[in-house]
């Protein structure tokens, strides 16, 4: 990178927040799974939204590419640079405003972690609607950029439904402050929705206004075992429309056995497939949970938790999966959205594909069954088997009527498969928006669009 740009960036953010150290850049140029690596020429860490805008202007004027990084928990290589990029980290944008308990909202910097938002909301007697296993490192700016979902989506919706306002630094170095204190604002284009889910290709989110919710006073949690995946899906279909549903999670019993063997997390019920259900409300939910399970084709007595300790033990079965999938090295990950009617067929066909391409691998399926948003993780999958298996799995997802990207985004890993889920007219329209806001194409250039 030209020395002049390095000096310019240091002038903007301070010399201590710019690095060209090869070891630092190498550590920052690998994705969360460890499977994908890129190359960068510098790391810059702005401390304010205005500094972000100034960094973008400097990089644009110097002809440098920029890759934006938050908590770097992307599972689709969304933060991996490909063009000797400048890495723009939002990690110093950590301002947390006071909780507005009347309007139930909070303003935070894009670099604030999910866990910090949750802690601040809880201290005010409220709850934030999105929860992820990576809560301690995932940043809310990155979560908004990918429109992340998570464990509570069936109740509160995706990240986009939590975002009330944004500050965005645009590729030309200008700043948009899109905020409103009213509950209904239908003035002009919905720019907030445009930038949520854009994966940093249209601008850099620097701050957010987030929606908060009252804390339910009663919860009831259960883990049920099923011999048949279709029976589990049918039970999930009934529960997802039930008033008070708070979580609805599919767990592959193979993952449960690995958690028990390697992590000491006991699986409380028998079955090839497990369903974690949680109801929440202002009254005792135990009887409602039992009534709703009356006709479920379970193969064992459900394990039910009504107190916090018992509920946490049941949740440990689901939460342990984040560690389980890394037991044999970096897994090959597929984040997909499927019609509920296609899930059983997909699971069977996906297992056959894995066996054909990687006989020693272990496929593990889990996810948010209420939305049909599933995570297929292939453990013990050698790097040399990945290209053929990945392409075949993408084709299977499309054949099942699914979407090649759900809550993790497209990133760089899935950009060649966008046409499986979007028509040429859709893609052309997206490219037109990109060209209008970033005509040079220097911001997150590896993400979303195939070159």
279-296, pLDDT tens digit by residue?
999 999 999 999 989 988
- 206 and 102 in a common domain: yes
- 137 and 81 in a common domain: no
- 360 and 274 in a common domain: no
Per-residue burial over 216-245, b if 16 or more Cβ lie within 10 Å, else e, is: beebbbbbbbbeebbbbbbbbeebbeeebb
- 207 and 102 in a common domain: yes
154 falls within a domain: yes
Task: Output helix, strand, coil percentages for the chain, rounded to the nearest 5.
Answer: 35, 25, 40
pLDDT at 381: 86
Tell which of 157, 192, 214 closes a domain.
214
Tell which of 89, 113, 139 closes a domain.
89
Tell which of 187, 214, 241 closes a domain.
214
142 falls within a domain: yes
Find the range with the poorest average confidence among 49-58, 228-237, 399-408, 418-427. Answer: 399-408
Q: Residue 391 sits in a domain of what CATH number? A: 3.30.70.2740
377 falls within a domain: yes
- 199 and 259 in a common domain: no
* Domain range for 340: 328-408
- 332 and 225 in a common domain: no
433 falls within a domain: no
Q: Sorting pLDDT into bands at 50, 70 and 90, what band is 75?
A: low
- 106 and 120 in a common domain: yes
Q: Residue 270 sits in a domain of what CATH number? A: 3.30.70.2190
- 129 and 193 in a common domain: yes
- Long-range CB contact pairs, 148-152, < 8 A, 24+: 148/407, 148/408, 149/368, 149/371, 149/373, 149/406, 149/407, 150/368, 150/407, 151/247, 151/249, 151/318, 151/368, 152/246, 152/247
- 15 and 61 in a common domain: yes
| pLDDT per residue as tens digits for the range 359-399 | 999 999 999 998 888 989 999 988 778 889 989 999 999 99
Find the range with the poorest average confidence among 8-12, 55-59, 206-210, 391-395. Answer: 391-395
359 falls within a domain: yes
- 252 and 183 in a common domain: no
User: Closest Cα to residue 315, out of 303, 325, 327, 331?
Assistant: 303
pLDDT at 412: 76
- 57 and 32 in a common domain: yes
Q: Residue 72 sits in a domain of what CATH number? A: 3.30.43.10
| pLDDT per residue as tens digits for the range 99-111 | 999 999 999 999 9
- 83 and 101 in a common domain: no
Q: Residue 103 sits in a domain of what CATH number? A: 3.30.465.10
Which pTM does this prediction carry?
0.90
User: What total of structural domains would you count in the chain?
Assistant: 4
Residues ≥6 apart with Cβ < 8 Å to 85: 38, 39, 40, 41, 64, 65, 66, 67, 445
445 falls within a domain: no
Residue 186 has pLDDT above 90, yes or no: no
User: Closest Cα to residue 407, out of 108, 96, 142?
Assistant: 142
432 falls within a domain: no
């Amino acid at each position: 990178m030209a020395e002049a740009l390095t000096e310019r960036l240091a002038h903007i953010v301070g010399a201590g927040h710019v690095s060209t150290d090869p070891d630092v850049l190498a550590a920052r140029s690998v994705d969360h799974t460890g499977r994908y690596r890129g190359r960068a020429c510098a790391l810059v860490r702005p401390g304010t939204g205005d500094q972000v805008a100034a960094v973008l202007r400097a990089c644009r004027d110097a002809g440098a590419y920029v890759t934006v990084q938050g908590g770097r928990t992307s599972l689709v290589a969304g933060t991996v640079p490909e063009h000797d990029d400048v890495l723009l980290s939002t990690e110093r944008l950590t301002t947390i405003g006071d909780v507005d308990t009347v309007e139930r909202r909070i303003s935070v910097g894009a670099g604030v972690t999910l866990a910090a938002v949750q802690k601040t909301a809880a201290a005010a007697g409220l709850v934030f609607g999105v929860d992820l296993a990576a809560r301690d490192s995932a940043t809310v700016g990155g979560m908004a950029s990918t429109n992340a979902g998570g464990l509570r989506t069936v109740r509160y919706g995706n990240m986009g439904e939590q975002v009330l306002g944004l500050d965005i630094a645009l590729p030309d170095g200008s700043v948009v402050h899109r905020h409103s204190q009213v509950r209904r604002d239908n003035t002009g284009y919905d720019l907030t929705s445009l930038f949520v889910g854009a994966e940093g290709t249209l601008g850099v989110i620097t701050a957010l206004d987030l929606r908060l919710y009252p804390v339910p006073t009663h919860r009831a949690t259960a883990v049920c075992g099923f011999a048949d995946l279709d029976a589990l899906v049918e039970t999930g279909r009934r529960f997802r429309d039930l008033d008070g549903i708070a979580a609805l999670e599919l767990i592959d019993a193979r993952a449960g056995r690995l958690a028990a063997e390697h992590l000491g997390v006991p699986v409380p019920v028998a079955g090839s497939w497990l369903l974690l259900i949680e109801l929440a409300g202002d009254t005792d939910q135990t009887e409602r949970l039992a009534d709703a399970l009356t006709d479920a084709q379970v193969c064992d007595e459900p394990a039910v938790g009504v107190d916090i300790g018992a509920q946490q033990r049941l949740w440990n079965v689901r939460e342990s999966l984040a560690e389980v999938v890394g037991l044999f090295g970096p897994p090959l990950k597929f984040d997909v959205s499927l019609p509920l009617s296609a899930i059983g067929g997909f699971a069977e066909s996906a297992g056959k594909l894995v066996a054909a391409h990687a006989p020693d691998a272990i496929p593990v399926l889990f996810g948010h069954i209420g939305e049909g948003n599933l995570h297929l993780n292939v453990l013990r999958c050698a790097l040399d088997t990945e290209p053929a298996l990945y392409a075949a799995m993408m084709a299977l997802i499309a054949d099942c009527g699914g979407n090649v990207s759900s809550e993790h985004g497209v990133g760089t890993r899935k950009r060649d498969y966008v046409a499986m889920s979007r028509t040429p007219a859709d893609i052309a329209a997206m490219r037109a928006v990109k060209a209008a806001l970033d005509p040079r194409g220097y911001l997150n250039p590896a993400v979303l669009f195939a070159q």
